[in-house]
Amino acid sequence: MRIVTGGAGFIGSNIVQALTERGYDDVVVVDELTDGHKFVNIATLPIADYLDKDEFAVRLSADKGFAKGITAILHLGACSETTEWDGRYMMQNNYGYSKKLLHHCLAHETQFIYASSAAVYGGSKQFVEDPVFENPLNMYGYSKIQFDRYVRRVAADAKSQIVGLRYFNVYGPHEQHKGSMASVVFHFNKQVREDGEARLFAGTDGYADGEQVRDFVYVDDVCKVNLWFLDNPDVSGIFNAGSGRAQSFNVVADAVIKWHGKGKIRYIPFPAHLEGAYQSFTQADLTQLRQSGCDVVFRSVEDGVKDYLDQIG
């Protein structure tokens, strides 16, 4: 039995789809569907079962037969709101819950592949999996780095695979429920379709209008990374999961406009509430990922955006 937490969410549902397309018939989705709109992400997928996140935690500790039947947990469930400042809520969801799953996997020698985030680097200009470069700017980033630190401390002598993947700016199908947290590709596509323009932030942090750069990574490529680690259970560690290529928001907008064959860019003032809590530059260092043996090829924004928009229209 393969468990995908956050399996009705963006990255999680894409991983569920990739697993079922492989022919796995034992995939169990764990999520929390207070926002029922997410159901569309898994409605057509042949999953074995669905469990609420709280029910899953109870069954892990109370049902020994269920617990022993788990071969891998791919843990994508989290509060991913980078603007959420309720630290107690964030730590309960992203830190405390993750620790419960980690300790289950350590005790049962079960593969554990979990979602970390590039948010752990904060304002750093180097994105290398080393504590010296980790300096989160918000509660989301702190919750993720604190779990990474915990993993480094307690899982050093683990007898089974423990992998943390630091996702950069992931975009692709199944993100429509994320609202303001959906990718800029999603938002630019909606804006161009409805208003004929893509709205980008004006210059900040020394960057010209729309020239802030991020490591945009297509969700299909992220799924391939997860499957690679699932297929290589002897490899453990914390790894960047990005394209290794920094591209500007202007490039993203141009790719969306090119797909539509119409549209223009308009720059809007940089939001005051994001000052000091915004990453103007990210670029994954893939040295450690490549040293692990993972050879997944990451698509450029131009290629990824075309594939994405071809699917959603």
Residues with catalytic function: 140, 178
Structural tokens at position 61? 């500790």
- Cβ–Cβ < 8 Å for 245, 179: no
- Give the separation between CA 169 and CA 156, rounded to whole angstroms: 28
Structural tokens at position 261? 């064959």
Structural tokens at position 82? 């980078």
CA nearest 46: which of 18, 6, 79, 73?
Answer: 18
Q: Calculate helix-pair angle for 249-260, 184-195, nearest 10 degrees.
A: 40
Task: Tell me the sheet residues that pair with 117.
Answer: 167
Instruction: Give the DSSP letter of residue 203.
Output: P
Give the position of tokens 């350590």: 106
- Give the separation between CA 97 and CA 53, rounded to whole angstroms: 9
Give rounded-to-5 percent helix, strand, coil for the chain: 45, 20, 35
Structural tokens at position 172? 């692709």
Distances (CA, A) of 61 to 2, 26, 100, 289: 17, 20, 9, 33
